[in-house]
Amino acid sequence: MEHRITIEGGAQFSVCAEEDTLLRGALRADVGLPHECSVGGCGACRFELVEGEMATLWALAPGLTDRDRKRGKRLACQSRPLSDCTIRVRCDDSYLPVVAPARWRARLEGRRMLTPDMSEFTFHVPSRAQFRAGQYALLYLSEAQGARAYSMSNLPNSEGLWQFIVRRVPGGAGSNALFDSLQIGDQIAMDGPYGHAWLRDDNARDIVCVAGGSGFAPMLSIARGALAQADKRRVHFFYGARTQADLSAAAELDELAQQRLNTSIVLSSPEPSLPWQGATGFVHAEVERALGAPLDQHEFYFAGPPPMIEAVQEMLMQKHRVPYNQIHFDRFV
């Protein structure tokens, strides 16, 4: 059974009745519905329901303000069609997936601790792992309502392995389920890939990766992908961590050590009793200090907590006038 979705003044497409959300159904139907986080946090997938019936999966999703709700706005990632519908939204082909997303049963193959609160989780699916460096997937964990978005840290491969570096979030249902409940051999539903901050290979600019916290995962994937290419682009990798206890995650960069890679680690709250001779403070400030002007000679990729994302955006776009098409990130809230 399918539901017919009509975009007011535009295209029509069909969504399988078993599809979990309007957004995922639209993307699988090759419709460029605007989106970023895909899990209700960013608000990029707002639309209006003109006619028909939609179920709301998360009524209090932070991607909608009270004003949005009063104006009848909905989130495509938190709406599931229950009938044929007409919606009002402005589509954009730039949101079409670069790799068609698919749904899988993914088996947990391995778990490896990187820091006291960060681990690498390796899942296997019965097909090639097809995604672009820097993208993310949606994991469905029985202990957490809805999907959780986590970025891959590895590269596409024929073995069907999808690796995620996840930080345990206090009180976080998704991360706690991964750390505490999921056992080796268990299977979960996985949907992907998604995301717009994938590695571009159509220019000669040097690459800058800026990672904060668990944003380390997609930036590690970007760096791995860039350094695996035969071109001569340099990669400048900036990792913003909290204390010396987080430094063991940066050891993942050791396997990439080569002349084309420059690594800078910044601690925001170093332990005074432990040795540390490196940079301290905010990671975006170290980016500016280390690279110097002009910054518009680089291609920027960044991932991390919202305050870091906003600070890097402001520095690049407002202070240094870096063109928007040289700035790549996915917004997670």
Domain boundary among 139, 164, 194: 194
Same domain, 178 and 259: no
Pseudo-torsion of CA 281, 287, 291, 294, nearest 10°?
-120
Q: What does the pLDDT read at residue 122? A: 98
pLDDT along the chain (333 residues), means of 10: 94 91 94 92 95 95 95 96 97 93 96 95 97 97 88 98 95 92 96 95 93 93 94 94 91 86 95 93 96 95 93 95 94 61
Domain boundary among 52, 70, 95: 95
Q: What does the pLDDT read at residue 258? A: 84
Give me the domain span that covers residue 313: 206-328
CA end-to-end distance (rounded Å), the chain: 34
CATH code at 152? 2.40.30.10
Tell me, yes or no, whether 333 lies in a domain.
no
Same domain, 142 and 91: no
166 membership: H or E segment, kind and range: strand 161-167
Q: What does the pLDDT read at residue 332? A: 63
Structurally, the chain folds into a number of domains equal to: 3
pLDDT (tens digit per residue) in 191-227: 999 999 999 988 889 999 999 988 999 999 999 999 9
Domain boundary among 194, 216, 239: 194
Same domain, 259 and 174: no
Rounded CA gap, 218 and 224, in Å?
Answer: 10
Average pLDDT, the chain: 94
Tell me, yes or no, whether 183 lies in a domain.
yes
